[in-house]
Amino acid sequence: MPHFHFHLQTPDGWEQDEDGLEIVNLETAYLNACRAIPDMAADMIRRGQQPMRFAFEIADAGGLVLMEVPFSEVLDKDRRPRQPAQAAWGRKAREEIARTERLCAAIEQNQKALSATLQTTRELMARARKVGAQNPWHVPS
């Protein structure tokens, strides 16, 4: 099951969720964050904080931030928690595809360079064997 972290953006910085939770998918993680916000906001108001300035960052187990959930999105009375937009998922998917393509191109380039180096090494070894077979006492200058 996927593991998600709910980091908290505050006006003073960022609070990392080191433990996280195992949740079925990003959509469920988003809805869980939306459900937690009203209670957290009530506590913040009691402490004299302004919850509208806070947000959750939902990150995967690798630390990649998948989405941001501003408290204002949930606390604004004219808006209700909604399921995350497919556009956000599409953008993340396109970013990961582009990153994967760059990595594949770099691997291919490194493999070509390695093959060329290996070929040069084989040619040098063949020459060295040939020289050694012709004159075992010859030291190349």
List, for residues 10-23, the tens digit of each pLDDT value.
888 889 989 989 99
Mean pLDDT over the full length of the chain: 85
Phi/psi of residue 79, each to 5°? -120, 145
Distance, CA of 17 to CA of 4 (rounded, Å): 9
pLDDT for 7 equals: 92
pLDDT of residue 106: 94
DSSP conformational letter for 30: H
Could you tell me the maximum CA-CA distance found in the chain, to the nearest angstrom?
92
**pLDDT score, position 139:** 63
- Residue 30 CA to residue 135 CA, distance in Å, equals 76
Contact status, residue 18 vs residue 63, Cβ threshold 8 Å? no
If one compares 126 and 136, the residue with the highest pLDDT of the two is: 126
pLDDT in tens, 38-69: 999 999 889 988 888 899 999 988 888 888 88
pTM of the predicted protein model = 0.53
